[in-house]
């Protein structure tokens, strides 16, 4: 039977996440560049819009979204250790960090790419789409194709008003992650988990690989750069996580940063979602943006779009929290209290979400 095929690119945020996972899982897979032909013949007919990565399973099924790709391979391969921690508190934290990496670290990742690496990125996009063109022609094509990605900066709240806060927060995150890596080789302990592959998304494709931001990472946080190299290559570690379902204390500053910066946005988005749910029907596609909100990063504020997909990622964490026994819930609550996440203890989505035909819809 043929192996898996990953359609993506080195320049893609989420392709790096899927690639690192597939390498770590040691499955038979090949990667094909998402050229114009791949978009035309595979991605658009099966997914409906231009997005990468997309994976073709050995039976021919097409899967989109990295969480779905990982879940599909985990179920199909049934290998050990599982990508998600087996104990509830560690699994809860892993999903919180998944949410943070996928939906909040995209802000510094996009800022550094399009503020400091723009011309380089155009060349990369052009070479990906049309590898046979000349470099000049690739640049022009890349400029055309890259326009929609650069156009996402206002959606994310990236502007001259927030750039100082974004850079301050990102450099502090690098210091916090460095302190963690001085004690543990991977995010949750001595082996990779979903949290590592989620962090690879922004930290490899944008913040390590792009020239200007890569130099910054290697200068300020060489241990983070070393982790990027190891995790992206699929290094397995020794297979252990901290005993007793404990969470490394060195993750608390990162979780506290997430709660300060991302949690207020999630609360606002959830209120907007409740208003939308009141008029919606089961199976209806959730709008990608539910309105406008204000983000605050290190005291720097800007208007951004209320991106609904964050609630889908959050639902996975809340489901784990809801299923905890009393003793685990008590430890989870203590961690949330310590990191400023008290609001998550009573956070309720007004309706459940699900994935259907590669889209998030009302369950």
Which residues share a beta bridge with 8?
A: 33
Return d(Cα 37, Cα 125) in angstroms, integer: 14
Distance of alpha carbon 91 from alpha carbon 99, whole angstroms: 12
CB 105 within 8 A of CB 208: no
DSSP track, 244-275? GG---GGGHHHHHHHHHHTHHHHHHHHHHHHH
Domains annotated for the chain, with CATH where assigned, are: 4-77 (3.40.30.10), 89-257 (1.20.1050.10), 259-321+342-362 (no CATH)
DSSP β-ladder status, 289-297 and 300-307: antiparallel
Task: Provide the residue-wise pLDDT of the chain in tens; the chain has 363 residues.
Answer: 479 999 999 999 999 999 999 999 999 999 999 988 999 999 999 999 999 999 999 999 999 999 999 999 999 999 999 999 999 999 999 999 999 999 999 999 999 999 999 999 998 888 888 888 898 888 888 888 888 889 999 999 999 999 999 999 999 999 999 999 999 999 999 999 999 999 999 999 999 999 999 999 999 999 999 999 999 999 999 879 999 999 999 999 999 999 999 999 999 999 999 999 999 999 999 999 999 999 999 999 999 999 999 999 999 999 999 999 999 999 999 999 999 999 999 999 999 999 999 899 999
pTM above 0.85, yes or no: yes
State the Cα–Cα distance between residues 169 and 256, nearest whole angstrom: 12
**Enclosing H/E stretch for 304:** strand 300-307
Burial category of 78 from C-beta neighbours within 10 Å (exposed 0-12, middle 13-18, buried 19 and up): exposed
């Amino acid at each position: 039977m043929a192996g898996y095929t990953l359609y993506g690119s080195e320049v893609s945020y989420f392709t790096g996440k899927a690639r690192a996972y597939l390498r770590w899982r040691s499955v038979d897979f090949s990667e094909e560049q998402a050229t114009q032909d791949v978009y035309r013949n595979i991605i658009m007919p099966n997914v409906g819009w231009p997005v990468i990565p997309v994976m073709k399973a050995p039976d021919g099924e097409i899967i989109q979204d990295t969480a779905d790709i990982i879940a599909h391979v985990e179920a199909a391969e049934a290998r050990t250790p599982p990508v998600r921690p087996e104990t509830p508190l560690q699994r809860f934290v892993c999903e919180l960090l998944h949410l943070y990496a996928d939906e909040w670290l995209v802000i510094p990742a996009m800022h550094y790419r399009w503020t400091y690496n723009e011309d380089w990125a155009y060349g990369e996009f052009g070479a990906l789409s049309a590898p046979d063109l000349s470099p000049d022609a690739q640049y022009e094509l890349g400029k055309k194709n890259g326009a929609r990605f650069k156009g996402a900066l206002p959606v994310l709240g990236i502007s001259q008003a927030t750039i100082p806060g974004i850079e301050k927060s990102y450099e502090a995150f690098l210091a916090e992650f460095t302190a963690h890596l001085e004690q543990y080789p991977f995010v949750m302990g001595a082996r990779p988990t979903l949290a590592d592959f989620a962090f690879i998304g922004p930290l490899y494709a944008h913040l390590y690989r792009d020239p200007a931001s890569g130099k910054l990472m290697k200068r300020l946080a060489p241990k983070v750069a070393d982790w990027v190299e190891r995790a992206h290559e699929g290094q397995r570690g020794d297979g252990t996580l901290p005993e007793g379902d404990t969470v490394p204390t060195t993750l608390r500053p990162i979780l506290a940063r997430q709660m300060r910066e991302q949690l207020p946005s999630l609360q606002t988005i959830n209120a907007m979602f409740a208003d939308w749910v009141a008029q919606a029907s089961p199976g209806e596609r959730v709008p990608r943006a539910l309105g406008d909100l204000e983000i605050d990063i290190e005291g720097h504020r800007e208007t951004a779009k209320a991106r609904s997909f964050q609630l889908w990622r959050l639902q996975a964490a809340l489901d784990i929290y809801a299923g905890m026994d009393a003793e685990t819930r008590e430890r989870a609550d203590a961690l949330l209290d310590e990191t400023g996440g008290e609001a998550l203890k009573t956070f309720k989505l007004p309706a459940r979400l699900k994935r259907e035909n590669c889209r998030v819809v009302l369950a």
